[in-house]
Amino acid sequence: MDTETPEDDDAPAPKKLHDDGMTACPICSRRMKEWQVFSHLDKCSGPTPSSPSSSRALGNLEAGRQSNASPRKQQNNMERLPALNYSMIKEQALRKKLAELGISSTGPRALLERRHKEWCTMWNANCDAVKPKPRAQLLRDLETWERTQGGRAPPAFRNTTSIKDKEFDGSAWAAKYDESFKDLIANARRNRPQKPESPKKDGDAADDACSNEVLSL
C-alpha cells in the first residue's frame, strides 16, 4: 500500500500581506503608525544584519541627508573677513595679507587698501548670500573691478576716485597746495592777453576833435 509523502517542511510559506494599516520604517522595517515614522527615524538604530533591503534603504536615506546638507555646510565653511586698521599696518604686511588672500599685491599703497576693501566687501556679502558664489567667480568679479575702478582703470577715473575717497583729507590737501594755487592764479593773470581797443567810428572821432578844440579855447 502506497503511503502519501509528507509535504517538505523546508518549503517557503507564502508571504502574508499586511492589511493592518501600518507603515514600515524604511531603515529597520519595523511597522508602526504612519504618523510615528518621522519621529522614529531620528532615533532609529538601523536595520539588523540579516536585512539587506533595509541596509540599502539606510544608505539611500543617508545619501539624501548628505546631499541636502552639503549647500548649508558649504555656506557655513565660508568665514567672514575682518576689517583692517590700515593706519596700524605697514605696507609690506598689507602686501603679504593680500597675497595670503590669493589676490594681487601690486601697486601703490592706496590701491592696496582699496583692493582689500573691495575684496572684503565682496567676500562678506557672499557669506551672507543664500546661494554663495564659488571663489573663482569672486575672483572674476574682482578682475572686473580692477579693470574699471582699480589699478588697470583709465587714468582719469583713477584720479577722480582718489579725490572722492571717503578718507580724503580736504583741509590738509588744500593747505599743502595753497601756495601752488596762488602762484598759478598770479601767472594766469600776468599772462592773460590784453583786451584790444575797439576801433573808433568816424562820428566818435569828430566828437573827440570838437572836444579838444573846446578845451583849447
Q: Is residue 173 part of a domain?
A: no
Q: Is residue 178 part of a domain?
A: no
Residues 66, 96, single domain; the answer is no
Is pTM, for the whole model, over 0.75? no
User: pLDDT for 21-53, tens place per residue?
Assistant: 777 877 777 777 777 777 777 777 776 655 555
Residues 73, 91, single domain; the answer is no
Q: Is residue 201 part of a domain?
A: no
Residues 128, 63, single domain; the answer is no
Give the domain range for residue 46: 23-77
Q: Is residue 198 part of a domain?
A: no
User: pLDDT for 50-67, tens place per residue?
Assistant: 555 555 655 666 666 655
The predicted pLDDT at position 16 comes to: 47
C-alpha cell, 102 = 590669493
Last residue of a domain, one of 163, 185, 204: 163
Number of independent structural domains in the chain? 2
Residue 201 pLDDT grade (very low, low, confident, very high; cuts 50, 70, 90): low
- Residues written for the chain: 217
User: Which residues fall within 8 angstroms of residue 114, CB to CB, at 6 or more apart?
Assistant: 149, 150, 161, 165
Q: Is residue 92 part of a domain?
A: yes
CB contact at 8 A, 107 and 114: no
Residues 108, 154, single domain; the answer is yes
User: pLDDT for 186-198, tens place per residue?
Assistant: 777 777 766 666 6
What is the average pLDDT score of the chain? Answer: 71
Q: Is residue 56 part of a domain?
A: yes
Residues 92, 140, single domain; the answer is yes
For cell 582719469, the residue is 156
Distance between CA 27 and CA 30 in Å, rounded? 8
Q: How far is CA 183 from CA 15, 80, 113, 178, in A?
A: 107, 50, 34, 9
Residues 72, 90, single domain; the answer is no
Over residues 118-133, mean pLDDT: 93
Q: How far is CA 94 from CA 86, 169, 198, in A?
A: 8, 22, 65
Check whether 214 has a pLDDT greater than 70.
Answer: no
